[in-house]
């Protein structure tokens, strides 16, 4: 393991630096505090102060120590330090672009997909990311989540047997008091129809000190507990972050990563590929690459969709399949995540499908002569699923999947 040193900008002991509570207690929340540590101009101070009036700032000393103020487009600074651009209004911005509140049968729970739900367990974050989609909620004292509300969410999950996957979100679930987090996870794991519990956390990126032995030992009992983290740039995968990731992987937590495509941070095929390689080297499977949402105050981070397609074009075939995330647009208005890839299907006829590969070669795949539309006699998965669906324990084929089914006579949705 590489040595992890306390930053020379902070006057503290190694023990303090390694203590996540010290990190949180010493988070930078004003431009004045930033100026004490870094060489920033009075004009920058003024702009930071103006912007943080609207969207508060909070940066852990650990994450702040990675900022390079001499670099104009430091990816760490762009994600952590408020910019004047956040105050600009854009025509299409929304407070809740994903309609998380509209798809919410009980407060703090979003039921968008039939078999899985998003459960907000806290609105605290270890850092306020400047590109956060939930800017309206994070760190806002008024939209606090309390145990009472979480319990109502758990009741809803109990009452809906088709829910097999629960995603804990926030805020950052790994900032919750461990007694509460354990209680929530163990209650969920006790529900017979809940097959998967997972959580999304930025702690490994901005507060790796939180991934300590106590946390790991208390949570590993609930295996499998999937953890999706949020690295956006290779520079974030520091020796200290790697130590936290190793601890999680060694203790059996399956790890995924969700990257947000951000202008000037990672909107380049080569920068993105470096990040993906760094992730898989550390046993993290890239999961999603998100197109930036239409939230208020993040217009300056948005890129065109073509940027994302070019990035995926540069990954598929050019690197290991498991180093390629799925690129998605989270549909404004609450349509869910929509996958986008470059086109590989060139054309097809009844007997042949023409495809192109990553190198641009055109190939043909000849379809089988046997018609495949009859299911084997002995298979009864359909009938069983229909019975379960009638009792609310499973979901029936829906959407375009339903249109493709031999069973349906409908011709549109
Ligand atoms: C992203 C998301 C999920 C989980 O979707 P997966 O594609 O299974 O990762 C569930 N509910 C909501 C509201 C989401 O935004
Ligand atoms: S950790 Fe996630 S929820 Fe919290 S501020 Fe960052 S992006 Fe938003």
Asked if 306 and 207 sit in the same domain, the reply is yes
Same structural domain, 183 and 223: yes
The answer on whether 375 is annotated among ligand-binding residues is: no
The answer to whether residue 182 scores a pLDDT higher than 70 is: yes
Q: Is residue 361 part of a domain?
A: no
Of 214-218, 274-278, 293-297, 405-409, which gets the smallest average pLDDT? 405-409
- Tell whether 128 and 261 lie within a shared domain: yes
Q: State in Å: Cα 166 to ligand 1 middle.
A: 9
Q: Whose CA is nearest to atom 12 of ligand 1?
A: 118
Distance of alpha carbon 268 from alpha carbon 206, whole angstroms: 23
Q: Is residue 22 part of a domain?
A: yes
CA of 115 to the centre of ligand 1 (A): 10
CA angle centred on 268, ends 300 and 242, rounded to 5°: 95
Atom of ligand 2 nearest to the CA of 125: 4
Pair (129, 28) in one structural domain = no
Task: Say whether pLDDT at 1 is over 50.
Answer: no
Q: How many domains does the chain have?
A: 2
Instruction: Report pTM.
Output: 0.92
Rounded Cα distance between 83 and 70, Å, is 16
Is-contact 284 276, C-beta < 8 A?
Answer: no
Task: Classify residue 393: in a domain, yes or no.
Answer: no
141 and 27 in a common domain: no
315 part of a folded domain: yes
Residue 363 falls within a domain, yes or no? no
φ, ψ at 388 (rounded to 5°): -60, -40
Q: Which two tokens stand for residue 342?
A: 């470059």
* CATH code of the domain containing 208: 3.20.20.70
Look-up: residue for tokens 């290991």? Answer: 320
Mean pLDDT for the chain overall = 92
Domain boundary among 339, 361, 389: 339
CA dihedral 237, 238, 240, 246 (to 10 degrees): 40
List the domain range (segments joined by +) for residue 235: 109-339
- Residue 335's pLDDT is 87
| 10 C-alpha to ligand 2 centroid (Å) | 25
In the predicted structure, residue 330 carries a pLDDT above the cut 80? yes
278: CB partners within 8 A, 6+ apart? 231, 234, 237
Shared domain for 40 and 121, answered yes or no, is: no
In this predicted structure, the answer to whether residue 2 has a pLDDT above a threshold of 50 is no
Point out the residues that are catalytic.
112-113, 116, 125, 129, 132, 134, 293, 330, 337
Residue 4 has pLDDT above 80, yes or no: no
Q: Which ligand is nearest to the CA of 100?
A: 1
Is 327 contained in some domain? yes
Q: Are residues 261 and 204 in the same domain?
A: yes
Residue 118 sits in the same domain as residue 71: no
Q: Which of 319, 339, 359 is the last residue of a domain?
A: 339
Q: Do 117 and 229 share a domain, yes or no?
A: yes
Which numbered ligand comes closest to the C-alpha of 135?
Answer: 2
For 126-166, write each residue's pLDDT tens digit. 999 999 987 766 666 555 678 999 999 999 999 999 999 99
Same structural domain, 140 and 24: no
Enter the tokens of residue 127. Answer: 């850092």
Measured at the CA of 107, the angle between CA 105 and CA 110, to 5 degrees, comes to 55
Q: How confident is the model at residue 42 (pLDDT cuts 50, 70, 90)?
A: very high
| Mean pLDDT confidence for 243-256 | 98
382 annotated to a ligand binding site: no
> For the segment 363-412, what is each residue's pLDDT rounded down to a tens digit?
999 998 876 667 888 899 989 999 999 999 999 888 888 888 877 888 88
For residues 58-66, give the mean pLDDT: 97
Q: Which ligand is nearest to the CA of 163?
A: 1
Q: CA angle, 101 as apex, 199 and 105 as ends, to 5°?
A: 85
**Ligand 2 and 315: CB distance under 6 A:** no
Shared domain check, 260 and 137: yes
pLDDT of 88 > 50? The answer is yes
State if residue 130 touches ligand 2 by the CB under 6 angstroms criterion: no
132 annotated as belonging to a binding site for a ligand: yes
Q: Which of 320, 339, 358 is the last residue of a domain?
A: 339
Note the pLDDT of residue 369. 85
Q: Is the shortest distance between the CB of 138 and ligand 2 below 6 Å?
A: yes
Residue 309 lies in a domain: yes
Least confident residue range of 49-58, 139-148, 150-159, 325-334: 139-148
Is there a single domain that holds both residue 72 and residue 137? Answer: no
**Whether pLDDT at 59 is above 90:** yes
Centroid of ligand 1 to alpha carbon of 266 (angstroms): 23
Q: Is position 93 within any domain? A: no
């Amino acid at each position: 393991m590489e040595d992890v040193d306390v930053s020379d900008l902070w006057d503290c002991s190694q023990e303090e630096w390694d203590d996540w509570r010290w990190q949180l207690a010493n988070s930078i929340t004003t431009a004045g505090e930033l100026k004490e540590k870094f060489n920033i101009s009075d004009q920058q101070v003024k702009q930071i102060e103006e912007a943080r009036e609207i969207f508060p700032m909070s940066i852990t000393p650990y994450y702040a120590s990675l900022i390079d103020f001499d670099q104009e487009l430091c990816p760490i600074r762009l994600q952590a330090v408020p910019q004047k651009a956040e105050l600009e209004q854009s025509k299409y911005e929304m407070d809740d672009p994903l309609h998380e509140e509209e798809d919410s049968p009980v407060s703090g729970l979003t039921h968008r997909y039939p078999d899985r739900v998003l459960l907000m367990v806290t609105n605290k974050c270890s850092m306020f990311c400047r590109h956060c989609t939930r800017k309206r909620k994070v760190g806002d004292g008024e939209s606090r989540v309390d145990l009472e509300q979480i319990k109502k969410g758990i009741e809803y999950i109990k009452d809906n047997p088709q829910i097999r996957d629960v995603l804990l979100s926030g805020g950052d679930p790994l900032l919750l008091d461990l007694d509460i987090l354990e209680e929530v996870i163990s209650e969920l794991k006790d529900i017979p129809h809940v097959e998967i519990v997972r959580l999304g956390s930025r702690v490994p990126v901005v507060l790796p000190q939180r991934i300590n032995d106590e946390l790991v030992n208390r949570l590993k009992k609930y295996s499998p507990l999937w953890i999706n983290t949020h690295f956006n740039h290779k520079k974030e995968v520091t020796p200290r972050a790697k130590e936290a990731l190793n601890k999680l992987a060694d203790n059996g937590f399956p790890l995924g990563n969700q990257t947000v495509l951000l202008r000037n941070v990672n909107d380049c095929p080569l920068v993105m590929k470096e990040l993906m390689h760094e992730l898989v080297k550390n046993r993290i499977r890239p999961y999603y690459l998100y197109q930036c949402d239409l939230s208020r105050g993040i217009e300056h981070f948005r890129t065109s969709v073509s940027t994302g397609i070019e990035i995926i074009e540069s990954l598929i075939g050019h690197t290991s399949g498991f180093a390629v995330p799925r690129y998605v647009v989270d549909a404004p208005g609450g349509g869910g995540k929509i996958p986008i890839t470059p086109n590989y299907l060139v054309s097809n006829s009844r007997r042949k499908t023409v495809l192109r590969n990553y190198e641009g070669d055109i190939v043909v795949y000849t379809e089988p002569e046997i018609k495949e539309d009859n299911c084997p006699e002995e298979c009864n998965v359909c009938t069983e699923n229909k019975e379960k669906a009638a009792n609310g324990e499973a979901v029936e084929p829906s959407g375009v999947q339903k249109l493709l089914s031999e069973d349906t006579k409908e011709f549109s949705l």
